[in-house]
A = this chain, B = another copy of it.
Amino acid sequence: MNGRVIALAGGVGGAKLALGLSRVLAPGALTVIANTGDDFTHLGLAISPDIDTLTYTLAGLADPLQGWGRRGETWAFMTALQQLGGETWFRLGDQDLALHVERTHRLVAGESLSAVTERVRQRLGVATAIVPMTDDTVRTRLRTDEGWLDFQDYFVRRRCVPCVHEIAYHGAENARPAEALRQSLADETLRAVVICPSNPLLSIAPILAMPGVRAALAGCTAPVIAVSPLIGGQAVKGPTAKLMRELGKEVGVGGIARCYAGLIDALLIDAGDRPAGPAQEIEWIDAPLLMSTIEDREHLAVAVLAAADRLSRRAG
């Protein structure tokens, strides 16, 4: 065991736990694999919401209240764009915009998303590697009672209001998973794989939808520990519970566990939560999941790592 940990993460909840893990692990021991299914092109700019939330959070630049975007953000660009009649449903802060413009410029010049992401995290002094799940294009789309919607159309423009009947991860079937993900899952010295408390259907499923990822997780010698995004049966943030209900899944930690059936060794759940459905062959570990303070994040990270070390697949 070399102490290296990889975490699969989406946006805000994933970033909070990633920050906790980064603070209790040795510098550079953590690699975060970021969902890119939420990525989109807006106003001609390549926007990667989950990568950016992870980057800003790990750099200490995230807005402390909303958890995404930059602290001390200003909105002069948006005000001027509105004056020009541009699209304003997706809000881009003046500071945040620098990242989108710089990324788009470099992608057009032929750099990969992973190279751009790596350069940015280095410039911002982030020790944790942040790796897009793939450099290929994967786009999450939702079939709703208003028809098929692109993810951000559903999530931001329509505020998750439409009822969802189906979710598709376009391009995932042909996407090449990130080298860091494939190598880590095959690494017999890896300490743990952590599935962060992100939406399993929107944030983690695109990662799992890529060829070979489920098999690599199932066959990984390191323990795979997931953290429930639900507390008291409700999502801390976002549409997880609503989506699970609309898609006919058990709304609760049992439903979360079933999303990861055959892949995980344990699921960390909040003290009040219990699976309603039939038992599943994983460990259910109680832990305080609400991550309000930085100490909360560190404590949860410690609990995740303790569970991993106890459940090491090599131990058997």
Separation in Å of the A82 CB from the closest CB of chain B? 8
* Contact status of A84 and B97, CB under 8 A, knowing A74-B76, A76-B76, A77-B77: no
Give bound CA distance, A102 to B43, whole Å: 7
Instruction: Report if A94 contacts B (CB, 8 A).
Output: yes
- A240: CB under 8 A from chain B? no
A93 and B104 CA atoms in complex are apart in Å by 18
Most chain B beta-carbon contacts within 10 A, residue among A77, A81, A120: A77
Can you list 27 A-B pairs, Cβ within 8 angstroms, ordered by A?
A43-B101, A43-B105, A44-B101, A44-B105, A45-B101, A73-B76, A74-B74, A74-B94, A76-B94, A76-B95, A77-B97, A77-B98, A78-B98, A79-B95, A80-B94, A80-B98, A80-B99, A81-B102, A83-B98, A83-B123, A83-B124, A84-B98, A84-B102, A86-B101, A94-B94, A97-B97, A101-B101
Q: Which of B78, B84, B105 contacts A123 (CB 8 A)?
A: B84
Q: For window 88-135 of chain A, which residues contact chain B by CB distance below 8 Å?
A: 93-99, 101-102, 104-105, 108, 119-120, 123-124
Interface flag for A85 (CB, 8 Å): yes
- Find chain B residues with CB under 8 A from A101 CB: 43-45, 77, 81, 86, 97, 101
Q: Which residues of A are interface residues toward B (Cβ below 8 A)?
A: 43-45, 70, 73-74, 76-81, 83-86, 93-99, 101-102, 104-105, 108, 119-120, 123-124
Q: Tell me the bound Cα distance from A104 to B105 in angstroms.
A: 12
Residues of B within 8 A of A95 (CB): 76-77, 79-80
Given that A74-B74, A74-B76, A76-B74 are known contacts, is A81 also in contact with B98, CB under 8 Å in the complex? yes
Nearest CB in chain B: distance from A70 CB, A: 8
CA distance A77 to B78 in the complex (A): 12
Q: A81 CA to B97 CA in the complex, in Å? A: 9
Of the residues B45, B70, B84, B96, contact of A99 by C-beta under 8 Å: B84
Could you tell me the distance between the alpha carbons of A96 and B101 in the complex, rounded to whole angstroms? 14
State the CA gap A86–B78 with chains docked (Å).
Answer: 21
